[in-house]
Amino acid sequence: MESWVRKISLHEPSLKDNTGDADRLANALKRDLKTDNPVEIDLQLIRQLPEFIRRWSHQLRCVIFKDRGKYVLAGISDGEGIRPIAGIAVDLGTSRVVVRLINLETNETLAESAFDNPQAAIGPDILVRIHHADTPSGLEELSDLIVRELNRTIKHLCQQGEMETTDIYLIVVSGNTAMTHLFLKLNPHWIIREPYIPAANRLPLIKAAELGISINSTGRLMAFPNIGSYFGGDLISGVLYSGIHLQEETSIMVDVGTNAEVVLGNRHWLIACAGAAGPALEGGVTRMGMMAGAGVIDRVTIDPETHDFQIHTIEEKPPVGICGSGLIDLAANLFSTQMLDIRGKFVASNCGNRLIEKNGIDYLVIVPETESATGKALTISQPDIESLIRSKAAMFSILETISTTVGINLDTLSRFYVAGTFGSFINPASAITIGMLPDLPIESYQPLGNSSLGGATLALTKPSCIDDIDKIRGKITYLELNVNQDFMNRFSAAKFLPHTDPSRFPSVPPR
Amino acid sequence: MESWVRKISLHEPSLKDNTGDADRLANALKRDLKTDNPVEIDLQLIRQLPEFIRRWSHQLRCVIFKDRGKYVLAGISDGEGIRPIAGIAVDLGTSRVVVRLINLETNETLAESAFDNPQAAIGPDILVRIHHADTPSGLEELSDLIVRELNRTIKHLCQQGEMETTDIYLIVVSGNTAMTHLFLKLNPHWIIREPYIPAANRLPLIKAAELGISINSTGRLMAFPNIGSYFGGDLISGVLYSGIHLQEETSIMVDVGTNAEVVLGNRHWLIACAGAAGPALEGGVTRMGMMAGAGVIDRVTIDPETHDFQIHTIEEKPPVGICGSGLIDLAANLFSTQMLDIRGKFVASNCGNRLIEKNGIDYLVIVPETESATGKALTISQPDIESLIRSKAAMFSILETISTTVGINLDTLSRFYVAGTFGSFINPASAITIGMLPDLPIESYQPLGNSSLGGATLALTKPSCIDDIDKIRGKITYLELNVNQDFMNRFSAAKFLPHTDPSRFPSVPPR
């Protein structure tokens, strides 16, 4: 099994071999790793070595990591395995931060926790936070908000995992470019101003203590590199987790978080684009509904004969609202049952008494007030449907644009990975019905779950994949959507259900 | 001219090239350096880049350094040359610390200063300091003593050089193994205990701020690597300065400081030994006299006819005592004028009324009380002469041992470098006469001055020599004198003037 933890048995020094302790350890690690690359041991660790090496009778476990070709010692522990050795994977999301505690010797996940990004107190919108970073000590404040909550969570996870925070030697953080900047106290001022330049795309391996993170004082923190302002480390992490970059056949990965980001490719090439800057995505794919949670409608079916609604809620609690996947299910079923026309307008004759009107706006009742947990009817308005259609059209246009750029037909893709919460809940058949995702066999669709956290976990547990991160970065061609003229034409054509050209969706029954 | 300062003109970013600022700078530096090796820019510098790059219109001067194959950015400054860029070379001696301020663009020395090692307050003897490092916060105290005085001196030098301490980006420190350990807060506990293992021989390039040194906050500190407990970075630095490692012909370098250290070799091989651990050197070569200073006798000649003494004092002040080189001159002249016999005993018949006796010990008056600045006669005792003879015998035995080990006859050496204050003052002819140094043509002897400071200066001013440091380390074979049996035999044979075998000193007139 691969592991960043190496058991090292040092030769005892003698009068004939007066190599220094640190040099002896670096040499032993080089032999153990079968590498000619340098192994760096920093001054803080060198200070600990003489005492610990002798206390542990020259038997020790070393936690290493790799950074741009060189290996770095992140910590040492006793050779007998008295103390555990752990790492932390972090998905640093704009709205939510997910933290996973991992045993670095067994590579098991020991515990997991999440918290709402406390930077939301400054502004839920990332732009507000970026502007706040320009105010006096605003950047420090934003970073400290995350660090404080991260420390609290790490402490809590360690209690669950029955260890001390000093047993943690590695942290891998995967976030978008802006979040990574704010976390590392890099001012993101220029990433929102033309030509949108990050302070750094590749980030140095730092001491976690440099940011005030309470793990072992010699422990290291790696942040996934970005490709540009609108294509962050979370995506690189996602590609790593998907394995697209290792496959001979061409696959696609879509991550719908705050932005809609797409990577297409195989082991020979990768092309990526992100939709955040596209005007069509304003209002965003993710604003279609509320966050998933107990009582939120995540699946809907409508009986084609009776037009009865069958709804499913998370944890099967009384309904409180609808999330993105539920909305897509709803729209697909409304369309199949001809309650929506190809323009996405409610068909009054088929909607019956579910259709109501208020202040000149049409609403469709999903759940009547008698069955709703809120005491009010749960409805969807004509503008909500139009917003959904803009979002799905944007999504499909992004997919078409990126595939056309490389001369690939979307139908020929071997796998379609859908990352994120969205990917876990979405019903691909419904997404195809409304023309959001291409008309591939259902089994081509594979949910990845939290691919950003998955990639960070891989970096912590599979040393052989570390070099892949830079390879992925080096291989990806980034397509800037907001400067692409074709995009707007495709977007207009995709604003119908499923599309102005129904031949692209053969599995969707024609009207 | 070589320099660690690189003028860099960055391409301006564009929508078509959204490389991050740090990545853009690293790439530009790699092109400028014509290297494939990584160029590391740490987080602190990345934080400064976006603002400074734009303020300086993409024109900047970068201070770099090299560490184990990789280049490290130590700081950035304006491209127009408004601020100076400087470095500090430090000879970190057990008793004295010498500090040199260097302009890193012109490689000129701007100012130089020295101070007595403030650790002497803990103990003049290095062993006392090493034991003190084991007491609570003793190590921090010892390091801070040096750092405080170093900061004061750097500030003072900057005033002389008309710059700010923030204009300093590099410090190179050359010291022996114990001093380097104490300075870097590495506990030297094990370097005085068998088998004498340093915490580290190769030392990482650190931030000067890590030790509390007040230069630019991103500035870096390099400490010369050691070879072992008794062969320190100051010797590596000395070899670098001598250039022995570059020459086809075999040369020797001798550094008589607190220890007597010898390096013999050429561009193909180097062999070294240090005499500190040898019992014969107890009492030490350096205890022969007082430190050089105003009024100290540094040259002596004795008229062979009249036995009149001609003495020369430093700064030609009234005599207060005698230093090492004066003592060697004195002994050589006493021997040539037959006032000393081949065993080093005073010859009463030739010493006249200069020979006095007190409590059963013979003293020779060098300066009568009427001419002395102290009001007392300056004398040398029979035990002083014996001590000198033990020291010179040790010196010669070290030279013989090391040369015999490699099958080289001392007579065939092309150059004999004498480093340190000792090397600057010693009269080689006198040293040959007493059999301290081999009987080579006088012009073979070359004083190096402070070779430790010289090597540190080279590291700051000549980037191409940085790789030589590790090459020297890798090439040197270290000969442990105190475990060598032959040494004691040679030592006994060398306790005569000039030697039991006068044929080894053909230029010294036979008795």
Q: Which residue of B has its CA nearest to A140?
A: B47
Q: Which residues of chain B have pLDDT under 70?
A: 257-259, 275-291, 482-484
Q: Rounded distance, CA B353 to CA B350, Å?
A: 9
Write the CATH number of the domain with boundaries B236-282+393-499.
3.30.420
Question: Within B287-434, where are the H helices?
Answer: 324-336, 348-351, 382-405, 420-425, 428-433
Q: Which of chain B's residues have a Cβ under 8 Å away from the Cβ of A19? A: 197, 201
**Which CATH fold would you assign to the domain A236-282+391-504?**
Nucleotidyltransferase; domain 5 (3.30.420)
Supply the pLDDT for residue B285: 40
Q: Which residues of chain A have pLDDT under 70?
A: 257-259, 275-291, 482-484
Q: Please check whether residue A69 is in contact with residue B39, taking contact to mean a CB–CB distance below 8 angstroms.
A: no
Q: Rounded distance, CA B464 to CA B75, Å?
A: 20
pLDDT digits (tens, 9 = 90+) for A200-215: 999 999 999 999 999 9
Residues listed for chain A: 511
Inter-chain touch A21–B51, beta carbons under 8 Å: no
Please name which of A270, A182, A169, A152 lies closest in space to residue A222, comparing C-alpha atoms. Answer: A169
Inter-chain touch B23–A201, beta carbons under 8 Å: yes
Q: What is the ipTM of this complex?
A: 0.90
Domain boundaries, chain B: 5-78, 86-223, 236-282+393-499, 286-387
Using N-to-C axis directions, what is the helix angle for B485-493 and B382-405, rounded to 10°?
Answer: 130
- Residue A490 Cα, gap to closest chain B Cα (Å): 23
What lies within 8 Å, CB to CB, of A265 at 6+ separation is: A244, A245, A250, A251, A271, A475, A476
Strands of the sheet with B96-103, listed across from one edge: B109-116, B96-103, B86-92, B168-175, B220-223, B206-207
Inter-chain touch B480–A15, beta carbons under 8 Å: yes
Strand-pairing partners, residue B362, are B357
Q: Which residue of A has its CA nearest to B226?
A: A20
- Residue B457 Cα, gap to closest chain A Cα (Å): 23
Between A50, A190, A195, which is nearest B15 by CB? A195
What lies within 8 Å, CB to CB, of B317 at 6+ separation is: B294, B295, B373
Supply the pLDDT for residue B487: 82
Q: Which of chain A's residues have a Cβ under 8 Å away from the Cβ of B195? A: 13-15, 17-18
C-alpha distances out from residue A300 to A297, A355, A430, Å: 7, 17, 10
Q: Does domain B5-78 have CATH number 1.10.600.10?
A: no
Structure-block tokens of residue B206: 């650190």
B58: left (phi over 0), alpha (psi -120 to 50) or beta: left
Q: Which of chain A's residues have a Cβ under 8 Å away from the Cβ of B54? A: 190
B44: left (phi over 0), alpha (psi -120 to 50) or beta: alpha
DSSP A122-173: T-SSHHHHHHHTTSTTHHHHHHHHHHHHHHHHHHHHHHHTT--GGGEEEEEE
Residue B250 φ then ψ, to 5°? -80, 130
Residues listed for chain B: 511
Q: Please check whether residue A100 is in contact with residue A88, taking contact to mean a CB–CB distance below 8 angstroms.
A: yes
What lies within 8 Å, CB to CB, of B351 at 6+ separation is: B339, B364
Instruction: Supply the mean pLDDT for chain B.
Output: 92
Q: Which of chain B's residues have a Cβ under 8 Å away from the Cβ of A13? A: 195, 197
- A 10 A CB-CB count for B256 gives 24
Inter-chain touch B195–A13, beta carbons under 8 Å: yes
Q: Rounded distance, CA B189 to CA B130, Å?
A: 6
Q: Please check whether residue B297 is in contact with residue B319, taking contact to mean a CB–CB distance below 8 angstroms.
A: yes
Interface probe, candidates B66, B143, B197, B273, chain A, greatest A C-beta count within 10 A: B197
Inter-chain touch B197–A21, beta carbons under 8 Å: yes
Inter-chain touch B189–A50, beta carbons under 8 Å: yes
Pairing of strands A309-313, B309-313: unpaired
- A 10 A CB-CB count for A256 gives 24
Supply the pLDDT for residue A276: 46
- Residue B61 Cα, gap to closest chain A Cα (Å): 18
Inter-chain touch A201–B19, beta carbons under 8 Å: yes
Q: Which residue of A has its CA nearest to B222?
A: A43
Q: Which of chain B's residues have a Cβ under 8 Å away from the Cβ of A68? A: 38, 40
Give me Rg for the CA atoms of chain B: 26
Q: Which of chain B's residues have a Cβ under 8 Å away from the Cβ of A277? A: none
Supply the pLDDT for residue A387: 84
pLDDT digits (tens, 9 = 90+) for B459-501: 999 999 999 999 999 999 888 775 567 788 898 899 999 999 9
Q: What is the DSSP letter of A120?
A: G
Q: Which of chain A's residues have a Cβ under 8 Å away from the Cβ of B202? A: 20, 22-23, 26
Per-residue buried b or exposed e for B275-291, using 16+ beta carbons within 10 Å of the residue's own CB:
bbbbebbeebbbebbbe
Inter-chain touch B228–A18, beta carbons under 8 Å: yes
Q: Please check whether residue A184 is in contact with residue A213, taking contact to mean a CB–CB distance below 8 angstroms.
A: no
Please name which of A226, A158, A213, A159 lies closest in space to residue A186, comparing C-alpha atoms. Answer: A226
Inter-chain touch B22–A202, beta carbons under 8 Å: yes
- Residue B349 Cα, gap to closest chain A Cα (Å): 51
Interface probe, candidates B18, B29, B37, chain A, greatest A C-beta count within 10 A: B18
Inter-chain touch A47–B186, beta carbons under 8 Å: yes
What lies within 8 Å, CB to CB, of B182 at 6+ separation is: B119, B129, B130, B133, B139, B142, B143, B146, B188
Q: Rounded distance, CA B123 to CA B143, Å?
A: 14
Supply the pLDDT for residue A493: 92
Please name which of B2, B466, B25, B447 lies closest in space to residue B242, comparing C-alpha atoms. Answer: B447
Inter-chain touch B50–A187, beta carbons under 8 Å: yes
Q: Does domain B86-223 have CATH number 3.40.50.2300?
A: no
Please name which of B108, B99, B103, B64 lies closest in space to residue B173, comparing C-alpha atoms. Answer: B99
Supply the pLDDT for residue B500: 92
- Residue A46 Cα, gap to closest chain B Cα (Å): 6
* Residue with tokens 């947990």, as numbered in its chain: A373
Supply the pLDDT for residue A479: 81
Between A50, A203, A483, which is nearest B187 by CB? A50
Q: Which residue of A has its CA nearest to B40?
A: A204
Supply the pLDDT for residue B372: 92
Q: Rounded distance, CA A134 to CA A157, Å?
A: 33
Please name which of A19, A126, A313 lies closest in space to residue B195, comparing C-alpha atoms. Answer: A19
For residue A191, the SS3 value is helix
Please name which of B234, B231, B256, B229 lies closest in space to residue B416, comparing C-alpha atoms. Answer: B256
Supply the pLDDT for residue B257: 63
Supply the pLDDT for residue A423: 76
Q: Please check whether residue A500 is in contact with residue A343, taking contact to mean a CB–CB distance below 8 angstroms.
A: no
C-alpha distances out from residue A396 to A344, A492, A493, Å: 16, 11, 10
In this chain, the answer to whether the domains covering B5-78 and B86-223 adopt an identical fold is no
Q: How many CA atoms lie within 13 A of B409 on its CB side?
A: 5
Q: Which of chain A's residues have a Cβ under 8 Å away from the Cβ of B14? A: 195
pLDDT digits (tens, 9 = 90+) for A392-426: 888 898 899 889 888 999 999 999 999 887 777 88
Supply the pLDDT for residue B177: 95
Per-residue buried b or exposed e for B37-54, using 16+ beta carbons within 10 Å of the residue's own CB:
ebbbbbbbbbbbbbeebe
Q: Rounded distance, CA A339 to CA A348, Å?
A: 7
